[in-house]
Amino acid sequence: MHISIQFMPSGKTVKVRRGTTVLRAARDARIHIATRCGGNAGCLMCKVKVDEEHGKALTPPTASELRKLGPLLEQGVRLACQAKICGDTAVNVPEDPLKAAIRKQLEQRNEDLW
């Protein structure tokens, strides 16, 4: 049986098998989530944010997430490489910091032109 996950802010949705990691689902949806550790909970680059309701459709935090995310877990932060999907859900993928910086500069430039 397939379940779906929606990636915000793009709104892209993909159907996956139960137990698929959020990172694998993102790749299936062609959503870029940065990684450096190959999905081993080592780089902490794959953070996504999930609200309380949608968080219930993910597996509970792994020991690695508990150790490495600590209080961020209470704010809905999960590691995409560790969280597995067990029901229809949605996650928010933060904007890449480099892209965010470029976007801000372009917005500022456009404001200056007006």
Q: How far is CA 49 from the centre of its chain?
A: 6
Token pair of 97 as six digits: 């910091």
Taking CB under 6 A as the criterion, the residue among 15, 42, 62, 92 binding ligand FES is 42
Query: Which residue lies nearer to ligand FES by CB, 14 or 79?
Result: 79
How many chain residues are in contact with ligand FES, going by CB under 6 A? 12
Cβ–Cβ < 8 Å for 43, 49: no
Query: Which residue lies nearer to ligand FES by CB, 8 or 43?
Result: 43
Cβ–Cβ < 8 Å for 105, 98: no
Taking CB under 6 A as the criterion, the residue among 4, 8, 28, 39 binding ligand FES is 39
Taking CB under 6 A as the criterion, the residue among 8, 15, 28, 44 binding ligand FES is 44
- Answer whether the bond into residue 97 is a cis peptide, omega within 30°: no
